[in-house]
Amino acid sequence: MEDKEEKKISAVVIRRLPRYYRYLGELVENDVQRISSKELSEKMKVTASQIRQDLNNFGGFGQQGYGYNVKYLYDKIGKILGVNEPHNMIVVGAGNIGRAICNYSDFSKRGFVIKGLFDNNKELEGKEIAGVGIYSTDKIKDFIAQNHIEIVALTLPKAAAKEVASVVVEAGIKAIWNFAPVDLNLPPDVIVENVHLSESLMRLSYAIANNKE
């Protein structure tokens, strides 16, 4: 029989999983032990049937008349998302976005451990942001190898992002979190998660424009 955690899951369901994880994490922090799909739907603004359908992709986890064990479901979704184990990462670009990422303590709570911040400004070398050391970009390859880095966040201008992306891929990186306003042309086995802030704002602008009477 096929393991439900290994079968192909739609991208739409995968995009909702972090929201489940976040809401369930809040419930765990508030010592809530169980919740029904109806109660969860009211919090997430997703129908109860959609929640049951989503979770059935991974085995269901609920009991009729009881609902969901919050901590159990939280741990299971964490395992599905792969955040039950730590992921070492670095940030390249010590500008505003790079510094904000280092300052955001929630990442470490979710298992994303920022091991270093890199920049080509030599004056920053040796300094720290929120306990994260700043290093020169010419040390990236060695640092990746020595610290078992899995994820690289790029918070750089277009041209620099392309160059650094090639360098870190050569160093063995298979996962890039890209904040640069550019599409990276990388091998198919490299996963790129793009965060284009201007595009997100334009979608918001579209929503505003189309909601006007």
Residues 6+ away with beta carbon under 8 Å from 115? 88, 89, 90, 132, 143, 147, 149
Banded pLDDT at 3 (limits 50, 70, 90) = very low
What pLDDT digit, counting tens, does each position of 22-36 carry? Answer: 999 999 999 999 988
Tens of pLDDT, residue by residue over 26-76, are: 999 999 999 888 888 888 888 888 888 888 877 767 666 668 889 988 998
pLDDT of residue 62: 62
In the chain, count H helices and then E strands.
9, 10
| Per-residue pLDDT, 63 | 63
pLDDT, mean of residues 92-109: 93
Looking up tokens 């160093």 gives 171
Whether the Cβ atoms of residue 162 and residue 101 lie closer than 8 Å to each other: no
Ordered by where they begin, the domains of the chain are 11-80 (1.10.10.10), 87-199 (3.40.50.720)
pTM score: 0.82
Collect all residues with Cβ–Cβ distance below 8 Å to 3 and sequence separation of at least 6: none
